[in-house]
Chain A
Amino acid sequence: MRNLMKSNKLSNALIPVISVLLGLIAGAVIMVISGYNPASAYLSIFQMVFMDPYYAGETFVTMIPLILSGLSVAFAFRTGLFNIGVEGQLLVGWLASVAAALAVPDLPKILAIPFCILVAAVAGGLWGFIPGLLKARFHVHEVITTIMMNYIALHMTNAIIRNFLFAKGEHTPVIPDNASLSSQFLTDLTTGSRLHWGIIVSLIGAFVMWFLLWRTTKGFELRAVGYNPDASRYAGMNVNRNIIISLVIAGAFAGAAGSTLGLGTYHFMTINGDFTGIGFDGIAVALLGLNTSFGVVLAAYLFAALETGGISMQSLGIPNDLVQVIIALIIFFVASSYIIKWAMARLKKGGEVS
């Protein structure tokens, strides 16, 4: 029995690896068909991400919000909820962090940064609360409401910036230094990249999710509701309240992701014509990371490396949009894990598909 569970766990962990490989192979096939050399393309990505300190730093810059966005999706998944609303929660958190930073220019750094991140998390949490409430109270599917909340956030943050926080260049004023996550040390280390202390924030986020889910009673309840809401209700848990709590916490992670953009990467918020894409990438990150903290960090790094390294493909004349195609294909393969499990069972012979 124990052996069986072990092999099951192993095969579950293999699925993301196989999906990534299949995605890369499919990407290579597309490159060959379009007349490019996939070997030199992948090699150039590898060289850029691992050999060039500046781009190594930029890879981490891309990874920081991706981790938090992935954690947000993964946390909701654990309670059986699908949070497509990261985009909106992130925008709201981004604006909230910048507004908070502009409001407290005299607070010492050690207080200002946690305060601004907290404000962003609360704002994101509020944006998650609404779909949570609607799901718990009216049984409205959270996929639709979170998508709608994304657009409401996009238009509202733009309107707020235009009317209240407008500075030259279609963005908010730049935040004061006391709330900035930037670090001369990290920038020097990576020969001038925008790498900032948000990396610590995102890793703390990963730890918080692990701790909440696996070391607290509330986390046990949340996971129980995700496994089987009926059994949880029978065991005396308040399913509706747990649904709301789960989406609020997920929203808080997304809001924190926004704060790393506001306080670290950009130091202001732009008027966005469209979504950042970080929230949608977060879905891929969570899936590929099997909704675990550690997996999310690994998957976020992989996607960040692909996206940053994709720039190097352009010097070879290969459009870097191919990276998006590869990421999409990886999501497809992870989503279709049933067929991968089936193929693996066939290869083993006599294995049972569950």
Chain B
Amino acid sequence: MSLMQILEIIIPSAILSATPLIFTALGGVFSERSGVVNIGLEGLMIIGAFVGAVFTIWFEHLGLGAASPWLSLVVAAICGGLFSLLHALACVTFRADQTVSGVAINFLALGLTVFLVKKLFQGSGQTPFIDYRIDKANVPLLHDIPIIGPLFFSHIAYTSYVAIIFSFLVWYVIYKTPFGLRLRSVGEHPMAADTLGINVSRMRYIGVVLSGAFGGIGGAVYVVTIATNFGPTTISGQGFLALAAMIFGKWNPIGALGAALFFGFAQSLSITGESIPLLKEVPSVYLLIAPYVLTILALAGFVGRAEAPKAIGIPYIKGRR
């Protein structure tokens, strides 16, 4: 097997498994940049995955055909955003411990969605499979380019390109717009921001709701491109992996994109590795734990220092120093 053939297997599958992580990690960037810890990304992905499956099935039922999964992504974003309002309410208004609220979000999302699945599908533990998934496709014209074409423009779902474009958009919003400046200032020094007339609570609500919307899309993308149905174990750890990607990417959208792609690469290697001669010798457990070990090393400063926003995790109480 030539190197080119190996890369043609690994790269598209890496991009495919990275896509849900990219969306969710971008959501994490919004929330944490505004100063709210979001351990609940996993739960938000679960909500998105549930909504993605249920609404795709429902839209198919209405006869919308291939548009169904795309429309369900939009619904998943809305539902994820609404669900994350709970996290915002607890963290910003009720001054709850943000980590604890995140843990509760994860619990609630799993319990609620599985409960609803059983309610909607007559006691079955998982949804039926969707008929129209967002399939891997070759990009017209571009996939004919030698070398680059087969690697980056063949057998890749369009959602992956959307995720990559979104990463740059989010980067622009956070670093180049007044809104982004306000969001970051609220996460770094809320009192200074408040003095300058920025509504700290509102900015944090927006940050958390955006994380819900992106997390919802992330979960739904996982369902409509990879899993094709929803059950209690559909999302098991992808949210935490996205959290790791966000940290490894140093709370920067482009960094998160890079980290998510790298984690997707490690994940796909651990699955496809067995068919590749050189990698057959590497036990898959090393590839499975690589993202987590690397994130710890990054935090410890061995792989470039990762610094969290200054005011992260601290509820802002007006007038208290």
Q: List residues of chain A with CB under 8 Å of any chain B CB.
A: 34, 82, 84, 134, 137-138, 140-141, 143-145, 147-149, 151-152, 155-156, 158-159, 163, 273-274, 280, 283-284, 287, 317, 319, 321-329, 331-332, 334-339
Contacts and interface: CB of A to CB of B under 8 A. Distances in A.
A147 B104 CA distance: 15
A145 B285 contact: no
A324 B111 contact: yes
Given A134-B296, A328-B111, A335-B100, 15 more contacts: A134-B299, A143-B37, A144-B244, A148-B293, A151-B292, A158-B285, A159-B284, A274-B233, A274-B237, A280-B103, A321-B118, A335-B94, A336-B95, A336-B101, A337-B96
Nearest to A273: B233
- The main secondary structure of chain A at its interface with chain B is helix
B240 A335 contact: no
A323 B111 contact: yes
Contacts of A273: 233, 236
A260 to B, nearest CB: 23
A321 B110 CA distance: 8
B90 A322 contact: no
A332 B301 contact: no
Nearest to B308: A141
Contacts of A321: 110-112, 114-115, 118
Contacts of A338: 94-96
A234 B295 CA distance: 33
B247 interface: yes
A319 B90 CA distance: 27
A332 B240 contact: no
B289 interface: yes
24 contacts: A134-B296, A134-B299, A134-B300, A137-B300, A144-B243, A144-B299, A149-B292, A151-B241, A152-B292, A155-B285, A280-B106, A284-B103, A284-B107, A324-B110, A324-B111, A324-B115, A325-B115, A327-B111, A328-B104, A328-B107, A331-B100, A331-B103, A335-B101, A336-B94
B240 A147 contact: yes
Contacts of A326: 111
Contacts of A145: 296, 299
Interface of B: 37, 39, 86, 90, 93-97, 99-101, 103-108, 110-112, 114-115, 118-119, 123, 233, 236-237, 240-241, 243-244, 247, 283-285, 288-289, 292-293, 295-296, 299-301, 308
A284 B107 CA distance: 10
A331 B109 CA distance: 13
A321 B114 CA distance: 7
B107 A148 contact: no
Contacts of A158: 285
A159 B283 contact: yes
- The main secondary structure of chain B at its interface with chain A is helix
A328 B43 CA distance: 12
Contact of A319 (B96, B110, B115): B115
A143 B39 contact: yes
Contact of B108 (A34, A156, A328, A337): A328
A148 B295 contact: yes
A336 B299 CA distance: 30
A144 B104 CA distance: 17
A155 B285 CA distance: 6
Of the listed residues B236, B237, B241, B285, the one surrounded by the most CB atoms of chain A closer than 10 A to its CB is B285
A144 B308 CA distance: 11
Nearest to A138: B300
B125 to A, nearest CB: 9
Contact of A144 (B95, B111, B247): B247
Contacts of B39: 84, 143, 147
Nearest to B105: A328
B96 A155 contact: no
A84 B241 CA distance: 15
Contacts of B285: 155-156, 158-159
B118 A319 contact: yes
Contacts of A339: 93-94
Contact of B104 (A84, A141, A143, A331): A331
Given A332-B104, A335-B100, A336-B90, A140 B296 contact: yes
3 nearest CB pairs, A to B: A324-B111, A328-B107, A328-B108
